[in-house]
Amino acid sequence: MEEVILHGTSYNLFTYRVIWALKIKGIPFDYIEEEHSDKGSLIMKYNPAFKRFPILFHGEKALSESMVILEYIEDTWPQNPLLPIDPFDRAKARFWVKFAGDKGHCVGTMYYTTGEKQEKAIKETIEMLKIIEEQAFGDQEKNFFGGEKIGIVDMAFGIIPHWLEVIEDIVGVKLLEPHSFPRLLNWVQNFKEEQVIKENLPNRDNMFVFLKNQREILLSSS
């Protein structure tokens, strides 16, 4: 099998999505941690369009953008599928992946802004969580968005477990209340207890310190 090398950055959800996908499929890979501020030769050569990590190398092939990488991983290694088989169910899964991409940035905005901008981002985050709670789970009770096993939608919503919790602590808000989001909180619990996820999450305390420092730097320079 051709070598698989992942270049990513610490505490970065997009990097973790790729790690989770590779681990679930049992694909051996090397991980190289890059500097957050690195916009050097790798990025300019392999992702000038978006200028960011993660970048996955499979032999000589280079891929970037985490959800594109996940579909590639799914196409290349079909074991332990991340997507359903039925085309309609696949379309539904991809819809929620797109939704996560469209709306997920409000969590980041909540984190690195203050005042009115932050209030707006908090509102948008709550709206996003409401839509997921009310519409993304469908009619059946199941452990994950994908059913009994973790799938691509669970990974797309990966910002909610762990990352949102840490950002809530830093910013000083509590959005994921049990009475408002029972299904989401149940999912968060299941997600974090899943073996592959449990073994591949950034250390919470270290992430808290890192993100808190980053926030202070960001806010003082704006």
Would you count residue 63 as binding another protein (CB under 8 A)?
yes
Residues 74-93 that bind another protein (CB under 8 A): 75-76, 87-88, 90-91
Task: Report whether 8 contacts 33 (CB < 8 A).
Answer: yes
Q: How far apart are CA 58 and CA 5, in angstroms?
A: 7
Residue 49 binds to another protein (criterion: CB under 8 A): yes
Amino acid at 55: I
Binding another protein by CB under 8 A: which of 50, 79, 116, 139? 50
Peptide bond between residue 54 and the one before it cis (omega within 30 degrees of 0): yes
Q: How does 37-51 read in b/e, with b if 16+ C-beta sit within 10 Å?
A: eeeeebbeebbeeee
Query: Which 105-164 positions form the footprint of another protein (CB under 8 A)?
Result: 131, 135
Beta bridge pairs of residue 30: 5
Should residue 95 be labelled a site residue for another protein when binding is judged by CB under 8 A?
yes
With CB under 8 A as the contact rule, the residue among 20, 43, 54, 64 that binds another protein is: 64
Residues that bind another protein (CB under 8 A): 48-50, 58, 61, 63-65, 67-69, 71-72, 75-76, 87-88, 90-91, 94-95, 98-99, 131, 135
